[in-house]
Amino acid sequence: MSGLAHFLESEGMVTVVLGLIPQHVRVMRPPRALLLPFELGRPLGTPCDAELQRDVLTAALGLLHKSGPGPVLETFDSEIGIDSTDGESCDEASWVCPVSFPTIAAGSGLSDRIADEVRVLRPLFDLGYRQRGHTAADVSGIDLDQLVGWLCSFLAGHRSDESPDESPVEGRTLAESFKLGVEDLKAFYVEAITVPPNSASSSDINTWFWEETAAGELLWSLRERLREHPDEGVRRHSQFTLVPAAQVARRQ
């Protein structure tokens, strides 16, 4: 969209980009952009929150009056509407996760806890696969059980440079396998928990995954541990795209 904004402005049309990935917007430098803390697909924030959506649009349209050498980049600052369901949802009934994870003995590692979650979710995932006929949880080419152990190994040792330094997939960089592996893990959980007739909203799913699962805990831990990883690609992914900006904003 930033590239399209440059083209439209060159043709005399004034534009404003609603930016959900700030680092991408800053690199593309559109003439005007409002940087937003919401999840991808929801540039106006929480559904049915008319007041918040009006505030976003007002802030965006306000940038139309600003010009200069540019770019004009402003951040929308709001503590509400970041996937909140406290009275803001279209549905009054709160969602309840259809599965219960087993109680794990104290001292159990993340790898064991995630393995138990995968075991519980597997029947739902398989059912969803049969219904959909496809899955997005297989792009890395790494078996899920192997993947969990490999991702957890990035937490091993006391220094980030003790993490894995080679991709488990031949011909692919470490950063590529890391990114695709993370996407596979998240897709497995999401596809398992959204098997019809489960009516969980994206807000429900995000809260559940990032706050209630060992897999979410792993990704939060990786975000902290890999801040200074020697591989630039791994380091960039861990800081900018591993955990959604909306979830980061929620914890700040």
Q: What is the pLDDT of residue 78?
A: 63
Beta bridge partners of 73: 33
pLDDT along the chain (252 residues), means of 10: 84 88 85 85 78 92 79 77 44 70 73 94 95 94 95 74 79 96 96 84 86 95 92 93 85 79
- Cα angle for residues 13, 17, 18 (degrees, 5° grid): 150
User: Which residues are CB-neighbours of 148 under 8 A, at least 6 positions away?
Assistant: 111, 114, 115, 118, 185
Q: What is the pLDDT of residue 157?
A: 55
Q: What is the pLDDT of residue 71?
A: 86
- Phi/psi of residue 32, each to 5°? -145, 140
Find the Cα–Cα–Cα–Cα dihedral 47, 51, 55, 56, rounded to 10°.
0
Whole-number Å distance between alpha carbons of 57 and 67: 18
Predicted TM-score of the model (pTM): 0.72
Q: What is the pLDDT of residue 92?
A: 46
Q: What is the pLDDT of residue 87?
A: 41
Q: What is the pLDDT of residue 79?
A: 52
Q: What is the pLDDT of residue 131?
A: 92
